[in-house]
Amino acid sequence: MIEVKGLVKTYGAKRAVDGITFTVKRGDILGFLGPNGAGKSTTMKMITGFLSPDAGSATIDGVNVVDDPVAVKQKLGYLPESAPAYPEMTVEEFLDFIAEVRGFRTADARQAQVDRAIQLTHLNPVRKQSIETLSKGFKQRVGFAQALLHDPAVLVLDEPTDGLDPNQKNEVRSLIKNMAVEKAVILSTHILEEVDAICNRVIIISQGRVVADETPAQLRARKPGARIDEIFRDLTRGDI
């Protein structure tokens, strides 16, 4: 579903992403790990068509992001880091806007999508509240609702559990897990236990390069008996 080949992005003299290659199949939940500044977000921004790559390509369902960004964006649901949303709108107004842009043109169709997204992300108690008055956990869920409103085949989630309390984290994880059966999901995270909990594949990047691409079990087998963050530290030593 997602095919990334030799992606490169350079900011000034710094090469943020340096030839990243991987594929994600339907049913995969890929955990995207790496220290801060390793290039996780930049890679995600290139896959979702927000940034254009300096070299390489990202293809969703056979469509190259650079060739037909709108077609790719239709297939994608994207939760940007820190879940930006228009603060003056209420949750309902915001999701209604997203539904309209996503091509649900009749009021009934929009209402159905908005209700479904609100139900999935448990936003019902705050649906009439303006987004600026919400707590961080609710804001994050609004970002989530926005990303999965059109039931996309591909989900790209940049730190989806960031800022949530442990209960909410669990809830989001089970939500991702349940949805992923017929989707391809990429999620970036700092939380190593999260990878164990939901991902069936792990990619670790360091200094803009892939340093590991395997299952969580294989990752653990690299150093039997060691904690997963020790393995992580060994692999990403270059960033320290």
Partner 1 sequence: MRQISPIFKREFFGYFRSPVAYVFLIIFLFSSVGLAFFAGGFFKGGIATMESYFYFHPWLFLFLVPAAGMRLWSEEKRSGTVELLFTLPITILEAVIGKFLAAWAFLALAILLSFPMALTLAYLGSPDWGVIISGYVGSILMAGGYLGVCSLMSALTKNQVISFVLSVFVCVMLVLLGTSMFNTFMTGFLSLPVGLTDLVANFSFLTHFDAFTKGIIDPKDLIFFVSLTGLTLFLNVVALER
**78 is an interface residue for partner 1 by CB under 8 A:** yes
**191 is an interface residue for partner 1 by CB under 8 A:** no
* Strand ranges (E), 74-200: 76-79, 154-158, 184-189
**11 is an interface residue for partner 1 by CB under 8 A:** no
DSSP 3-state assignment of 131?
Answer: helix
Q: Which of 70, 69, 56 is nearest to 16 (CA)?
A: 56
Please tell me the distance from the alpha carbon of residue 93 to that of residue 128, in angstroms, as a whole number: 8
**59 is an interface residue for partner 1 by CB under 8 A:** no
Of the residues 17, 38, 76, 202, which one makes contact with partner 1 according to CB under 8 A: 76
Please tell me the distance from the alpha carbon of residue 137 to that of residue 127, in angstroms, as a whole number: 14
**70 is an interface residue for partner 1 by CB under 8 A:** yes
| Binding segment toward partner 1, per CB under 8 A, in 41-49, 165-173, 187-195, 201-209 | 41-49
**67 is an interface residue for partner 1 by CB under 8 A:** no
Of the residues 52, 119, 170, 215, which one makes contact with partner 1 according to CB under 8 A: 52
Please tell me the distance from the alpha carbon of residue 47 to that of residue 73, in angstroms, as a whole number: 10
Closer residue to partner 1, CB minimum distance, 70 or 181: 70
| Binding segment toward partner 1, per CB under 8 A, in 80-88, 118-126, 166-174, 217-225 | 80-88
* Cβ 185 vs Cβ 178: under 8 Å: no
**66 is an interface residue for partner 1 by CB under 8 A:** no
Please tell me the distance from the alpha carbon of residue 227 to that of residue 223, in angstroms, as a whole number: 8
SS3 content of the chain, % helix, strand, coil (to 5): 40, 25, 30
Element housing 110 (H / E): helix 107-120
Please tell me the distance from the alpha carbon of residue 76 to that of residue 41, in angstroms, as a whole number: 16
Of the residues 54, 57, 97, 120, which one makes contact with partner 1 according to CB under 8 A: 97
Binding flags for partner 1, 151-190, as an x/- string (CB under 8 A) = ----------------------------------------
Minimum Å distance from CB 90 to partner 1? 9
Of the residues 10, 57, 64, 74, which one makes contact with partner 1 according to CB under 8 A: 74
In this structure, how many other beta carbons lie within 10 angstroms of the beta carbon of residue 13?
5
Closer residue to partner 1, CB minimum distance, 95 or 205: 95
**Which residues of the shown chain bind partner 1 in the complex (CB under 8 A)?**
45, 48-52, 69-71, 73-74, 76, 78, 80, 82, 84-89, 97-98, 100-103, 130, 146
